Amino acid sequence: MATGIGGIGGRALAARLGRVGVWNFALQRLGARDEGAAIREYERLGYRAVWMPESLGSKEVFAHASILLAASERVVVAPGIASIYARDPMAMANGARAVAEAFPGRFVLGIGVSHAPSVAMRGGSYGKPVETMAAYLDGMAAASYAGPELGEPVPLVLAALGPRMLELAATCADGAHPYFVPVEHTPIARATLGGEPCLAVEQTAVLTTDADEARRIGRAFAKHYLALPNYANNLRRLGWPDDDIANEGSDALIDAVIAWGDVDAIVARVKAHLDGGADHVCVQLRAESSSDPALAGYAELAAGLLAL
C-alpha cells in the first residue's frame, strides 16, 4: 500500500483530469451552499476537474477542497496552488493524505512557491524558488502520518513556469501547472518536461466578442500578475518586451494571455494549448463580478470544449 505524495504517474493523472477542466476564483468568494451548487453544475455539464486558488485571504485550501468534494460526486478537485509558505511540509503532506483518503481518486495536490510580496505579507522570507521547493518536497517525502494508508499516492503537480522548476516537476512530481501563460509557453514546457509528466495549463478567457469589454475585464485581472516578478520574467523569457508588460499590459499581450471572443475563439485557444503539448487545459472564465462562477458561460462553452 502506498502513502506517498506524488508517484501516480503523469499519464494516469492526465487520464483522470480529462482534456479540459474549470479554473475558478469565484468559488472562494461564495458561501458553502452556493459554491456546492456551482461545482455540481460544472459536474453536470461534464467537466471532470475543478481548480481553485489559495491566495492571500482565500479559504484554507484543504478545508476548501473538502467542501467542494463533499458537495459533488465525481469531479476531481485541485488547488492551483497551495502555497508552501502557508504550512510546513508535514502539514501539507498530511492534509493532502487526509483529503485523498476521504475522497479516493478525486483530489490532486497542486503546490507552488507563491510570490515574494505575498510571502512578506504572511510575515515570511521568500527563498530561492527552486531550492526552496526541492527542500520542501524532501520534507513532504519524510513526513510521518498516523492516518490510514492510501491505496495510491496523492497526485502532485508543481506550479512551474521557468525551465528549472519545470525540470523539478518532471523529476519530483507527476506534472506541472503553468498559470497565466500564452500558447507559446506550452510547447516549451512540454519539451522541458518530456513525455511522461502531466502538463495541466491554465487559460484565462472572457466570453465576449466586444474587444473593449474583453480587454477591460482581462486587464483588470491581468494587472496584478504583470506586477509580479515570476510572471513578468516568464513573459520576458518568451520574448515579450518591457513596453508590452508595463502599464497593465499592451493590447497584444492581453490578447496573448487571455482568450476572448465567441465560443469558437475560446475553443480554438484551448485547442492550441492541447496541440502544443498540454494534456489538460483548465479554463478560467472571467465575468464582470469576481464572485460570479460564470455558470452560463461554462454551459455555453461545454459542448465545444468537451469535444476536444
Kindly write down the DSSP assignment for every residue of 7-19, as one continuous string: -S-HHHHHHHH-S
Q: What is the mean pLDDT of the chain?
A: 96
Please, what is the Cα angle at 197 between 85 and 229, to 5 degrees? 40
254 half-sphere exposure, CB direction, 13 A CA radius: 23
Average pLDDT over residues 251-273: 98
Model confidence over 74-100: pLDDT tens digits? 999 999 999 999 999 999 999 999 999
pLDDT band, very low/low/confident/very high, at 1 (cuts 50, 70, 90)? very low
Rounded to whole angstroms, the Cα distance separating 135 from 182 reads 30
Report which of 174, 95, 94, 197 is spatially closest to residue 142, judged by C-alpha positions.
94
CB neighbour list of residue 42: distance below 8 Å, 6 or more residues apart:
22, 50, 75, 295, 298
- Percent of the chain clearing pLDDT 90 (strictly above): 93
Angle between helices 61-71 and 89-102 (to 10 degrees): 10
Question: Quick one: CA torsion of 254, 255, 261, 265, rounded to 10 degrees?
Answer: -140
Model confidence over 66-76: pLDDT tens digits? 999 999 999 99
How many of the other CB atoms lie within 10 Å of CB of 88? 13
Rounded to whole angstroms, the Cα distance separating 116 from 153 reads 30
Model confidence over 152-199: pLDDT tens digits? 999 999 999 999 999 999 999 999 999 999 999 999 999 999 999 999
Rounded to whole angstroms, the Cα distance separating 257 from 166 reads 19
The type of residue at 33 is R
CA quadruple 38, 40, 43, 45: dihedral sign? negative
- Percent of the chain clearing pLDDT 70 (strictly above): 99
- CA 11 to chain CA centroid, Å, is 18
Cell of 244: 508590452
Rounded to whole angstroms, the Cα distance separating 279 from 189 reads 12
**Domain 10-306 in CATH 3.20.20.30:** yes
User: Is the separation of the CB atoms in 140 and 93 below 8 Å?
Assistant: yes
Model confidence over 123-164: pLDDT tens digits? 888 889 999 999 999 999 999 999 999 999 999 999 999 999
Q: What pLDDT, on the 0 to 100 scale, is given for residue 126?
A: 85
Model confidence over 229-248: pLDDT tens digits? 999 999 999 999 999 999 99
